[in-house]
Amino acid sequence: MPASKPLVIVTRKLPDAIETRMRELFDTRLNLDDKPMSQAELIEAVQRCDVLVPTITDRIDSKVLVRAGEKLKLIANFGAGVDNIDVKTALERGISVTNTPGVLTEDTADMTMALILAVPRRLVEGVKELEADHFKGWSPSWMLGNRIWGKRLGIVGMGRIGQAVARRAKAFGLQIHYHNRKPVHPSIEQELEATYWESLDQMLVRMDIVSINCPHTPATYHLLSARRLKMMKQGAYIVNTSRGEVIDENAMVRMLAAGELSGAGLDVFENEPSVNPKLLKLKNVTVLPHMGSATLEGRLDMGEKVIVNIKTFADGHKPPDRVIPAML
């Protein structure tokens, strides 16, 4: 890195406090109108800067990285997931990659729990009924949903967020089950009274609600395939606040429309920002615009992590949130 302030290019609008601090510490170029950069603009950026600060919607793939200039030595991702970055190619070219883990755990878990409550109890449907002036007074048989107390929740991916979801769900009386690459520490299992399933197939057939909390990697693409979706109970619900690519979305839509699944709560989609129009027409689906981590506190925490990673790297030290292949 140069002795002078490193040239940092930020691809999207960040909170004012973060942008101000970045301008103080670095030679920072901001994206004030928040317009997503095209691939050509990203290539121009990596040819000029010492540090690139992309977000999860910026595709920093091999086509971009092979055009990077010799100055680029750090990609400080504004986000915990790094499936938007070709990390392998970056490391091969001597470019370090960092992310912002941990700071979004509680926010995402809150939103997951909100969907776990909202979908079986038909909260969004109820709002729409009021807005359409269909409410004519209480009725013992109108807008009936399903109780979640005592139901089985299967968590796919028992990392930080999965465990935070489990703690919330346990307080609501759900029985906690999970599938992970390996079991969590016995003390965590005991705390959560959680049951581990080495076989995802065996877990899915028994669950009333399935929550997707694993990252998107080549190994988890369409982890919930059409075959696995068909294994689930007809009365089951799916909640996804992770990445849309983990589920075969077209297969899920067909099953939801046919009543082969009871409902879904989705904060992410397979082809973002495009949303399957069929999903928007289904009454048994609650959709949100990828806002699981959208809290002011979370965004500020993310920005502070980005700053620490850049400053540490610029000072000649290893940044605390380096992404290494073993993590993927």
Q: Which helix (H) or strand (E) holds 96?
A: strand 96-98
Q: Is 141 left (phi over 0), alpha (psi -120 to 50) or beta?
A: alpha
Within 13 Å, how many C-alpha atoms sit on residue 143's CB side? 18
Catalytic residue (choose from 19, 44, 272, 304): 272
Of 63, 161, 54, nearest in space to 97 by CA = 54
Of 277, 255, 167, nearest in space to 211 by CA = 167
182-188 own/partner pairs: CB under 8 Å, 24+ apart: 184/158, 188/163
Neighbour tally for 130: CB within 10 Å: 9
Q: Are 203 and 232 in contact (CB under 8 A)?
A: no
Neighbour tally for 157: CB within 10 Å: 22
Catalytic residue (choose from 179, 216, 290, 299): 290
Catalytic residue (choose from 243, 249, 270, 299): 243
Residue 243 annotated in active site? yes
Residue 290 annotated in active site? yes
> Which residue numbers are catalytic?
243, 272, 290
